[in-house]
Amino acid sequence: MHADLQVLLRLQEKDKVVLGVEAEMAALEPEAEALDRELEATTSELEAAQTRAEDADKRRADLEAKIETYRMMQERKRQKLEWVRGAKEASTLMAELDLARTVLAREEAEWVKSADRVEEAKELVQERDTLVQDLKTAQAPKREELSARMAELDDRLKAAKSDVPMHRRQKLLSGDSLETCEACGVLLYHEEE
């Protein structure tokens, strides 16, 4: 058997080891991706709950500002009523005060509902946060196992690649004594007699 062919066949065996380790590494990727997808979904739910809580809190703050504005308007009308002398003007101001009280009562009722929504949203955020933390805790052993396995495979891959002299492979592939079939890649050579 041709000497270069023997070397090339040994290289081919070493390449098979490299490819085998790479295949093992690729087989672990779906497991890691599944863990990541599960965590991403739960984290997305948490982020959505946080956004809803922030929106509810903003709505409550807006209602507080409106209520304060209505209270100030009502107080100004009450003070103005003290200085009014005419019955018609007093009657108009009394009607405006009644309307302001009605609007204020409606806004305060809405604020109470809003406060309840804020509390519900905060509870949901806490629940989702707990789910995320529980999921991270549950996934930790599997992630550590995958990480250790990947580290081991990475070490094996480095060792296997260092055992395959790339420059020698290129030299053999470009030599005159060995050729590859353009159609299928099979090595063609002339056996020495």
Angle at 22 (CA atoms; ends 17, 27), nearest 5 degrees:
125
Residues 137-151: tens digit of each pLDDT: 999 999 999 999 999
The residue written with tokens 């308007």 in the block is 73
Q: What value does the mean pLDDT take over residues 94-115?
A: 92
Q: How far apart are CA 42 and CA 128, in angstroms?
A: 7
3 state DSSP class of 139 = helix
Residues 153-179: tens digit of each pLDDT: 999 888 887 777 555 455 545 555 565
Task: Count the helices and strands in the chain (H runs, E runs).
Answer: 3, 2
The answer to whether the pTM exceeds 0.85 is no
